[in-house]
Structure 1
Amino acid sequence: MMFDQSLDILMVHAQGEIGNVIIGGAPEIPGATILEKMNHINEVDDSLRRFVCFEPRANVAMTVNLLLPPCRPDADAAFIVLQADRAHPMSGSNCICVVTALLETGRVKMVEPETIVRLDTAAGLITVRAECRDGRCLSVSLDNVPAFVAELDAAVETPKWGTIRADIAFGGVFYAQIDVDSIGLKIIPDHARALAEAGMELKTLLADQVTVQHPEIASLNEIAYVMFRDYQPDGSVITCTTLAPGRVDRSPCGTGSSANLAVLQARGQLKLQERRASRSIIGGTFLAEAVGETTVGGRPAVLPRITGSAWIYGRQQLRISPDDPFRAGFALSDTWGPLVGEL
């Protein structure tokens, strides 16, 4: 088969959450910064995102990361998170996938036992320490952008659950974090569908009732995800981040775990250098730690460190055919649910 134009993609997952990485063939994205490039994808031309994130080449329960040269001199590489709904500035599980791909393919030189990688993202510079042995990236510890609370116990009026409380916090994107028992569910595989539907319903309600704005990045002004949580007696937390068009994160969610650290700090329940385990709906684990304190736009913030592992499980080439009738992809309500009408 002749491939005149194609995308080269590494197939990667972090604790079960697919975070594939485009390593070749992507078009040039206009913009002087990674933030401008992300905004271009979201506001001007989303054809690449649709090509790699929609059927028939993809499914809703996955992410594709666009690997790019950095726009800042202190970074080794850059990436943009492409998902079914839009391009996003940062993701912990996807950052772990990207670093694993960079090191195990030699795009960034692996140094054993530890390699430091600096990533340019739309949310800011991410510094990563990767534990390496025998050519394998065993684990990734990422120093995320500062995480801070926008509002604790925000009241959300709902027709189904009455008034519930949400902690609104930033961990790379904005989250609404909600105790799962307030909607009468548990974070277990049997409740995944109900959790996803509840998260999408609450995200719509939050958009009408709660306003967010990053004090330093004007375009970060929406609650990206609803994350359900269940604190455990040992100090760990079980998390369930819900994503459009209506699914749950298979991983413990790195940016959500970062936002959770900010919430715990704001409530006086967190000590610096205290590691907290974040576990997913399928039992995957990240370790979350606040390694320092700072401020963002005058708000108290923590410096989160998230540690987890990823695995490269394959490689694929996606052929770009001008006459493909589904080059822009398609979505059906069997997987998209009611959000299919918003495309």
Structure 2
Amino acid sequence: MRLTRTISIVGVHCAGEVGGVIVGGVLNPPHCKTMYEKLLYFQNKADDIRQLLMSEPRGRPAMCMNLVLPPCDPCADAGLLIMESDEYPPMSGGNTISTATVLLDTGMVKMTEPVTKLNLETPAGLLDLPVDVPGLGVISVDIAWGGMHYAIVDARSVGLEIKNANGPKLIEVGERVKQAVRNTYTPVHPKNDKIREVTIVEFTEPVRQASDNTKMAVNTVWCLQGDSTGARVEPGAVLDWLSCMQEVNCMGTTTVGGFDAVLPTVKGSAWITGFKYMSLDPSDPFPTGFRVRDQWHMPEPSGERIVK
């Protein structure tokens, strides 16, 4: 057997969000002084790794991949680069929880009692915006930052309810909303103007208050996929996500680049699902994978091989 490359991955899920953490087989990029420079390196010069792992036959739409790298900041224990189906998000709550779980549970970072403090270095407000969506008319969309730029939509405003039976329709409408927002408005991160554009749509339902005064919020996302831990935050909120709980609290407020911002904490759990090696044979006809159009909901090719 001859292999072009072999990549070591720890399988993990965070409240049902399936992903993996790359712990071997991918070298630290050269001459990068920040984690954002490392993001750009993989995005522009080594994106074949993301395509190999995230596209079929090795990947699928609803998954994430996290790459552990040496940090650039000496105060950090490890660097984290996040790969999703269409992008490299600068930050993600669920992926951070997954990566922290793997680093601690495999012994890559020493666990101490009663509290282990782990510093991960990553590359890393609301705006009410009226958007004219073809076939839906004008709807109100909130633009928020939660590790990536979200377009947040009240599901009721497009005549939908967040439930399994409406999954295909939520995907169809979510893609239409995302394209309409991109044609209308381009958000730019106040501290890094290269981080821009909405890449993920989050449908929400009204926040409900329980008898114990906790607040429950039902959310679902479309990016192709992702997690919504960081975007919808208010004091004492609890996100009901895939029937699993993640506790989100607002510890205070601050400003970022002149914009009002919150200081959130997220409490959640992730579970290791297995250990595997991904490999590439030099004779493999799909060295960067492929995407079946009806499963990936891709109206136009985006560089990856598309199978109709």
TM-score > 0.5, shorter chain as reference = yes
State the distance in 1 between where 2:157 and 2:40 align. Answer: 35
State the distance in 1 between where 2:27 and 2:49 align. Answer: 8
Amino acid at match of 1:57: R
Q: Show the counterpart of 2:239.
A: 278
Q: Show the counterpart of 2:187.
A: 212
2:187 and 2:198 in contact (8 A); partners too: yes
State the distance in 1 between where 2:87 and 2:146 align. Answer: 18
State the distance in 1 between where 2:2 and 2:268 align. Answer: 39
1:7 and 1:320 in contact (8 A); partners too: no
State the distance in 1 between where 2:2 and 2:275 align. Answer: 18
Amino acid at match of 2:19: G
Which whole-Å deviations, capped at 9, do the CAs of 1:5-63 have from their partners, x for residues lacking one?
41110000001101210011113324221101111222333111111111111111111
2:12 and 2:273 in contact (8 A); partners too: yes
Identical columns (%): 35
Correspondence for 1:311 among 271, 275, 283: 271
Amino acid at match of 1:202: V
Q: Show the counterpart of 1:51.
A: 52
Q: Show the counterpart of 2:23.
A: 23
Matches within 5 A, 1:99-178: 99-123=100-124, 148-149=125-126, 151-152=127-128, 154-178=129-153
Matches within 5 A, 1:220-235: 220-234=195-209, 235=215
- 1:87 is paired with a residue of what secondary structure? coil
**Per-residue deviation at 1:229?**
0.6
**Per-residue deviation at 1:340?**
5.0
- 2:86 is paired with a residue of what secondary structure? coil
Q: Show the counterpart of 1:73.
A: 74
Unaligned runs of 5+ in 1: 124-147, 262-269
Q: Show the counterpart of 2:163.
A: 188
**Per-residue deviation at 1:293?**
1.0
Report the count of equivalent residues: 297
2:242 maps to 1:241: no
1:331 and 1:340 in contact (8 A); partners too: no
Q: Show the counterpart of 1:265.
A: none
Matches within 5 A, 1:6-17: 6-17=6-17
- 2:99 is paired with a residue of what secondary structure? helix
2:252 and 2:264 in contact (8 A); partners too: yes
Q: Show the counterpart of 1:140.
A: none
**Per-residue deviation at 1:112?**
2.1
Q: Show the counterpart of 2:306.
A: none
Q: Show the counterpart of 1:254.
A: 229
Unaligned runs of 5+ in 2: 210-214, 304-308
Q: TM-score, normalised by structure 1?
A: 0.82
**Per-residue deviation at 1:313?**
1.0
Amino acid at match of 2:7: L
2:289 maps to 1:329: yes
**Per-residue deviation at 1:2?**
7.0
1:337 to 1:169, Cα distance in 2 relative to 1, 3 A:
closer
Which whole-Å deviations, capped at 9, do the CAs of 1:75-107 have from their partners, x for residues lacking one?
001111111212221111111100000000111
State the distance in 2 between where 1:75 and 1:23 align. Answer: 17
Amino acid at match of 2:237: R
1:67 and 1:78 in contact (8 A); partners too: yes
Q: TM-score, normalised by structure 2?
A: 0.91
**Per-residue deviation at 1:292?**
1.4
- 2:289 is paired with a residue of what secondary structure? coil
Amino acid at match of 2:298: P
Over the aligned positions, Cα root-mean-square deviation in angstroms equals 1.7
